[in-house]
Amino acid sequence: MKIGNVNIDGFCALAPMAGVADISFRVLCKEFGAAYTVGEMVSAKGVSMNDKKSKDLMQIDSSEHPSAIQIFGNDPEVMAEAAKYALSFSPDIIDINMGCPAPKIVKNKSGSVLMKNPDLAGRITRAVVNAVDIPVTVKFRTGWDSLSINCVEFAKIIEESGAAAITIHGRTKEQMYAPPVDIDSIKAVKNAVSIPVIGNGDIFTPEDAKNMYEITGCDLIMVGRGSLGRPWLFSQINEYLSSGIYSPDPTPEERMNIMLRHAENICKIRGIKNGMCEIRKHALWYTKGLKGSAKLRNEFSIVKTFDELKLLAEKVTEIKD
């Protein structure tokens, strides 16, 4: 598929998960077959205030392309300026977050709260589109709550405002991530617009990916929580959609080696202290479901050095039936 003039060669993209989809995780997922990556959301207001953290989030590794920088905010002019600034980091696409349900984001009148104001959402989209010379996409949900599911009308406004593609997560803001994804709403959006539609939500297995494609007719799928501690899911999805079969999950030893490589990359970028703090949550995801790993969860959650992490990884691989 193509988003504007950008070729997306593959079946699935990595979602812009805040606090997870940093540069080290995106590069790893790309190695395992993610066709497209979207970075953690960046505050347009933060960029306007010269916030270092906001700018750090815009960093893109050369191996990631095609990749997008995602911005959020509620002021068309500020969003446009942030998009212009983002161009200095060489993204292929600018993505606008209109779907985040986090209370902190919603309280600041950004993210999914914009679904309650389609006119403003359209003006933001148009402002960003006019500000940059690369494709602009928008990610949103099915609606604010079950009584205001307006994703079809919202999608049409976003398309009319110049977006090159849209991503829809099949839940309302109020639903957060709990109930099963509303796959019929994704299908309805796909049928209502002519630009590419990316389906998102509940992609945990290759079979889930196939189901999303077959039911919705979407042009691409986006994997989020299903990739936590399982970046190889991208390669399994690619295999399954290409041939109908896919490789089994990595062995415990292979899984631990992937985790250690991930940890090394985080530490190179953030330093040992910050890197080890960051890898703790990933370590819990990497070891989830492995025999005997539950006994080591407390140790993984307080690991402080790479040598400690390596020792714990060895303990996991030594656990027998």
Phi then psi dihedrals of residue 178, to 5 deg: -80, -60
Q: Closest Cα partner for 142 from 95, 179, 108, 105?
A: 179
Mean pLDDT of 226-252: 96
pLDDT at 295: 80
pLDDT at 94 over 60: yes
pLDDT at 169 over 80: yes
Name the active-site residue from 29, 100, 151, 267: 100
Ranges of beta strands (E only) in the chain are 2-3, 6-7, 12-14, 36-38, 42-43, 67-72, 93-98, 136-143, 165-172, 197-200, 220-223
pLDDT at 296: 82
Burial (CB count <10 Å: 0-12, 13-18, 19+), residue 5: exposed
Mean pLDDT of 129-152: 96
Task: Using pLDDT thresholds of 50, 70 and 90, give the confidence band for residue 117.
Answer: very high
Q: Closest Cα partner for 154 from 96, 82, 80?
A: 96
Share of residues in the chain with pLDDT > 90 (%): 83
Read off the tokens for 152: 């079809």
Burial (CB count <10 Å: 0-12, 13-18, 19+), residue 21: buried
Encode pLDDT of 170-182 as tens digits. Answer: 999 998 888 889 9
Task: Using pLDDT thresholds of 50, 70 and 90, give the confidence band for residue 297.
Answer: confident
- Amino acid occupying residue 209: A
Task: Using pLDDT thresholds of 50, 70 and 90, give the confidence band for residue 249.
Answer: very high
Residues 6+ apart with CB under 8 A from 235: 32, 33, 246, 247
Mean pLDDT of 251-268: 93
Cβ neighbours of 318 (radius 10 Å): 10
Mean pLDDT of 223-229: 96
Q: Are strands 220-223 and 197-200 parallel, antiparallel or unpaired?
A: parallel
Task: Using pLDDT thresholds of 50, 70 and 90, give the confidence band for residue 45.
Answer: very high
Cβ 174 vs Cβ 113: under 8 Å: no
Task: Using pLDDT thresholds of 50, 70 and 90, give the confidence band for residue 32.
Answer: very high
Q: Which residue has the higher pLDDT, 69 or 314?
A: 69
Domains along the sequence of the chain with CATH: 2-243 (3.20.20.70), 252-318 (1.10.1200.80)
pLDDT at 320: 61
Mean pLDDT of 270-276: 90
Q: Closest Cα partner for 207 from 236, 229, 179?
A: 236
pLDDT at 321: 55
Cβ neighbours of 134 (radius 10 Å): 20
**100 has catalytic annotation:** yes
Q: At what angle do helices 206-216 and 183-192 cross, to 10 degrees?
A: 40
State the greatest distance between any 2 C-alpha atoms of the chain, in Å, as a whole number: 60
pLDDT at 290: 84
Mean pLDDT of 259-281: 92
pTM above 0.75, yes or no: yes
Task: Using pLDDT thresholds of 50, 70 and 90, give the confidence band for residue 299.
Answer: confident
Task: Using pLDDT thresholds of 50, 70 and 90, give the confidence band for residue 64.
Answer: very high
pLDDT at 115 over 70: yes
